[in-house]
Structure 1
Amino acid sequence: MDALPLYRQLAAHYQHVIDTGTLSPGSRMPSLRALMDRHDVSLSTALQSCRHLERYGYLEARPRSGYFVRQPHKPACEPVAEPIARLAEPAQYVGIHERVSAVIAQGRLHPVKFNLAVAVAAPELYPVEALKQAAIRALRHDPTVLTSAAVPNGSAAFRAVLAQRALSARIAVSRDEIIVTHGCIEALNLALRAVAQPGDVIAVESPSYYGLLQILESLGMKALEIPASAQTGISIEALELAAQTYRNIKAVVVVPNFQNPLGAVMPDASKARLVEWCEAQAIPLIEDDTYSLLSNDDTPLSACKAWDKTGNVLYCASLHKTLAPGMRLGWLIAGKWQARVEMLKHAQSRANEVLPQLAAADFMGSSAYDRHLRRLRLALRDQREQMAEAVATYFPAGTRLTVPQGGLCLWIEMPGRASSGRLFEQAMLAGIGIAPGVMFSNSDRFDAFFRISCGQRYTRELNTAMRTLGRLAAEP
């Protein structure tokens, strides 16, 4: 058996220290700097160890105060089992659109009161009034913005703010290297079209966001599903094994921070290793970094792009989850494919509307954006914990769940041979929407899984819906 990662070894040491009472509940955990000096580890390792202990209830993070010991508790649900680093299944693409379309069609036939299938926060968690005022200021400053031609590649002001904000993810980029898109979906479309052709094989995480699988099918490309862990993301070992069998992999697509649907965060060492491997294999790496700002705390997460020295990483992101779903603002840093992506963007959809970009630039350029993100993170953290507690309370014994440290979703595994397709149909009749596992793969491997969103405030009515969902999951 392989040795535990260094951060897990360090976490196990302090778990023993807490279990034996050397560090009692309420006492302060050694600072990250102290852990680095005492154990000769990196900041990343120290931080991952504390987050691991926090995930399992041994520590709690207090704003601007560090980590403190809390009363240890047994996880409410056993974590989702780790995947085996096996050979990927043959690349395919036929069928996912029909699966997703069938789920969406049923949703339209049966209006739901609680739509837990959509990975987005409730409208009231976004800064509605502040964005309205920002748009008004933009119109006052330039009344002709709605009647003037849109700017190629996007507003200079918006791209400048994006370049400044990218520093928190350790990305050094100029505004001229950023191309504004219609959400992250268009960014992914452009990135794939820039590096691959119909019939090409694209390596993706498994399970994978169904929207990406739909894109691949629409482009005539083949998805090669690589096992991914709810703890550490894509298995690089399995990817390396797949590359020895499939010599025609043209790109790798990953969501390294709070992967959809697993909620996994790749360790920095794995991000660096993946970037280095893709560069050595001359395989473009397409990164979807939509969720990284939705962590439990204000500690920035690094992007894979941070380790890119040659422009081999195409970085895609959006404001759809963090600021304003209605704006449909995304962007792409295309690296060595900049010129090709600019051409494809012009041919596919032309430039984005300028007014939303100006409003977003106004708001994101101020400290109000940072305050909004803190409020959103706290709200989502509370909602994730409440939803996870509801799953542990109402769902049948043996239900498995790895609670992520950020993002918008929970990925739940039902015990036995339970079918999420059957649960989806029964839940729809009860006015509850979920995303069944068959949407997240071209195979039936995840039929016992489903994804729910934690974007809604946890009300008494939502608690009743979760109780109903748990009862339906327990039915034979």
Structure 2
Amino acid sequence: MESTPLYRQVAGHYRRAIEAGTLTAGDRMPSVRALMGLHGVSLSTALQACRQLESDGLLEARPRAGYFVSAPQRAPLAPLTEPDAALPDPAQYVGIHQRISGLLARSQHQHVHTNLGGAYCAPSLYPADALRSAAARALRRHPMLFAEAVEPEGHAPLRGAIARQALHARMQLAPEEIVITHGCTEALNLALRAVAGPGDVIAVESPTYYGLLQILESLGMRALEIPCSPQTGMSLEALELAAQHYDNIRAVAVVPNLQNPLGCIMPDAHKARLVQWCEARGIALIEDDCFSATADGDTQPAAAKAWDSSGNVIHCASLHKVLAPGMRLGWIAAGKWQPRVEMLKFGLSRPNEMLSQMAAADFLASGAHERHLRRLRTRLQLQREWFAQAVATSFPAGTRLGSPRGGMHLWVEMPAQVSSEAVFDQALQAGIRVMPGVMFSNAGRFDHCLRINCGTPRSAQIERALATLAGVVQKLAG
């Protein structure tokens, strides 16, 4: 029997390394010359080995850069179910269900070794060293910083840096139009307080970020859930239908780019139409934008505020998802409501402390920020693809999966008989935290869904946690 050709032996060595996870998607292969030295083979043999792995879909060649491990080809899964755009049930005029607070409390009091329910990346993906250096420089330049009063609306250089960053999302903002906040949560609080009061109705996406439901409940406002497509975002047809039946909608709160939890990006034509629709009816549009800087590719999707010509769009955003979770820096551009937002900010929490603002401004003004974002987008894209592959190959038949073009989450639709709350409880007992779909709606229609965080790089611990989670779902699916 003929022996295996030498190039196939070399290719097999790296195939096994890729299959074992020793080499993962995005890793650089040794150069052709390095392969010659490592394996004692000719240039022709080394090239044949690489081309064999490339034809098998395991490697990709990048011009002037060499060979890299390819992202795995995902097992086929049906796309997420499109929503029924029927008229929202007025029974959805309810506050956040106590179940959500109970779920959060249970997860906080249980030992968790693997958190797949968070909304952040692993610490290693953030520029901690550079930010620490920036903070040290700020203290050297301003040794009396902690003894001095803070700037009322936020650190001027930070507001300027954010205004320049906003150009990537096609917004034209003056630094004076930006107010620095304690994360996006405070920005949303300020926006809602500026345009509505207790008892007022706010149209929200369904599913929507549970934190928004908590804010509405705390302010005594009522959420009217509007169906959200996993492809195009909030159904404008359903919103128009709702407005015909309910004449007391005071604001529409949306996440047009990388919606949480679906991960969809609203087409530009829909954004323009939504902005125009809200303006024509005197309904405030509140835009939540925490994830758009993580969108795949080099072009950031446009913000809805890019189509705002009257100041009717309130843009709320943050830096803590993409730059520094520990800083809790957010911002708001409130358009025609800016004077009221400035008053509310001062009355409710006073200005933010200065050190983190100075460090962030220093980093944003440097070329290091764009390099960080490019690395972050690349890593998140690879991680999402790997997580999606793991779900596709291990979850039960009937599972559906979203394909977000950015962000750090996957929305998983399990077979209808599987309760996400049951998955949450059983996974928690195994030390694994996920976000059950029941948390993302007051209406209970997403109890068979999960939001899984992909912000942590692949590791043996992550692999074991996903395998355990898949086992829980398989068991509940029967």
The residue that corresponds to 2:398 in the other structure is: 398
Quote the offset at 1:320 in angstroms: 1.2
Identify if the C-alpha distance between structure 1 residues 72 and 431 changes in structure 2 by more than 3 Å, giving closer, same or farther.
closer
Identify if the C-alpha distance between structure 1 residues 64 and 424 changes in structure 2 by more than 3 Å, giving closer, same or farther.
farther
Secondary structure, counterpart of 1:468 in structure 2: helix
Contact persistence 1:255–1:288 (CA under 8 A): yes
Cα displacement string for residues 63-120 of structure 1 (whole angstroms, at most 9, x for unaligned residues) = 999xxxx999786321111112211121646452522221111112321111111111
Secondary structure, counterpart of 2:294 in structure 1: coil
Identify if the C-alpha distance between structure 1 residues 95 and 252 changes in structure 2 by more than 3 Å, giving closer, same or farther.
closer
The residue that corresponds to 1:18 in the other structure is: none
Q: What number of residue pairs does the alignment pair up?
A: 414
> Is 1:447 aligned with 2:447?
yes
Structure 2 residue identity aligned to 1:347: G
Identify if the C-alpha distance between structure 1 residues 62 and 343 changes in structure 2 by more than 3 Å, giving closer, same or farther.
farther
Identify if the C-alpha distance between structure 1 residues 418 and 62 changes in structure 2 by more than 3 Å, giving closer, same or farther.
farther
Identify if the C-alpha distance between structure 1 residues 74 and 154 changes in structure 2 by more than 3 Å, giving closer, same or farther.
closer
Identify if the C-alpha distance between structure 1 residues 426 and 61 changes in structure 2 by more than 3 Å, giving closer, same or farther.
farther
Structure 2 residue identity aligned to 1:438: V
The residue that corresponds to 1:254 in the other structure is: 254
> Is 1:208 aligned with 2:208?
yes
Structure 2 residue identity aligned to 1:298: D
Contact persistence 1:169–1:302 (CA under 8 A): yes
The residue that corresponds to 1:176 in the other structure is: 176
Secondary structure, counterpart of 1:301 in structure 2: coil
Cα displacement string for residues 248-285 of structure 1 (whole angstroms, at most 9, x for unaligned residues) = 00000000000000001000010000001000111000
> Is 1:123 aligned with 2:123?
yes
Structure 1 residue identity aligned to 2:366: S
Contact persistence 2:203–2:253 (CA under 8 A): yes
* Alignment gaps of 5+ in structure 2: 1-56
Secondary structure, counterpart of 1:224 in structure 2: strand
Contact persistence 1:394–1:467 (CA under 8 A): yes
Contact persistence 2:72–2:385 (CA under 8 A): no
The residue that corresponds to 1:426 in the other structure is: 426
Cα displacement string for residues 297-325 of structure 1 (whole angstroms, at most 9, x for unaligned residues) = 11121000000000000000000110001
Structure 1 residue identity aligned to 2:380: L
Quote the offset at 1:416 in angstroms: 3.0
Structure 2 residue identity aligned to 1:270: H
Cα displacement string for residues 140-172 of structure 1 (whole angstroms, at most 9, x for unaligned residues) = 111111111111110001001011111111110
- Structure 1 stretches of at least 4 aligned residues deviating more than 3 Å after TM superposition: 60-65, 70-75, 91-95
> Is 1:98 aligned with 2:98?
yes
Greater Rg over alpha carbons, structure: 2
The residue that corresponds to 2:317 in the other structure is: 317
Identify if the C-alpha distance between structure 1 residues 359 and 211 changes in structure 2 by more than 3 Å, giving closer, same or farther.
same
* Alignment gaps of 5+ in structure 1: 1-56
Identify if the C-alpha distance between structure 1 residues 62 and 274 changes in structure 2 by more than 3 Å, giving closer, same or farther.
farther
The residue that corresponds to 2:162 in the other structure is: 162
The residue that corresponds to 1:50 in the other structure is: none
Structure 1 residue identity aligned to 2:100: V
- Whole-Å Cα distance in 1 between the matches of residues 263 and 74 of structure 2? 20
Identify if the C-alpha distance between structure 1 residues 62 and 370 changes in structure 2 by more than 3 Å, giving closer, same or farther.
farther
The residue that corresponds to 2:45 in the other structure is: none
Identify if the C-alpha distance between structure 1 residues 63 and 253 changes in structure 2 by more than 3 Å, giving closer, same or farther.
farther
* C-alpha RMSD of the superposition: 2.0
* TM-score calculated relative to the size of structure 2: 0.84
- Whole-Å Cα distance in 2 between the matches of residues 405 and 64 of structure 1? 26
The residue that corresponds to 1:274 in the other structure is: 274
The residue that corresponds to 2:25 in the other structure is: none
Q: Greater CA deviation, 395-404 or 303-312?
A: 395-404
- Whole-Å Cα distance in 2 between the matches of residues 88 and 320 of structure 1? 33
> Is 1:297 aligned with 2:291?
no
Contact persistence 2:293–2:373 (CA under 8 A): yes
> Is 1:381 aligned with 2:381?
yes
Secondary structure, counterpart of 1:251 in structure 2: strand
Contact persistence 1:409–1:453 (CA under 8 A): yes
Contact persistence 1:249–1:283 (CA under 8 A): yes
- Whole-Å Cα distance in 2 between the matches of residues 91 and 195 of structure 1? 23
Structure 1 residue identity aligned to 2:159: R
The residue that corresponds to 1:231 in the other structure is: 231
Structure 2 residue identity aligned to 1:117: G
- Whole-Å Cα distance in 1 between the matches of residues 71 and 441 of structure 2? 39
Structure 2 residue identity aligned to 1:385: E
The residue that corresponds to 2:150 in the other structure is: 150
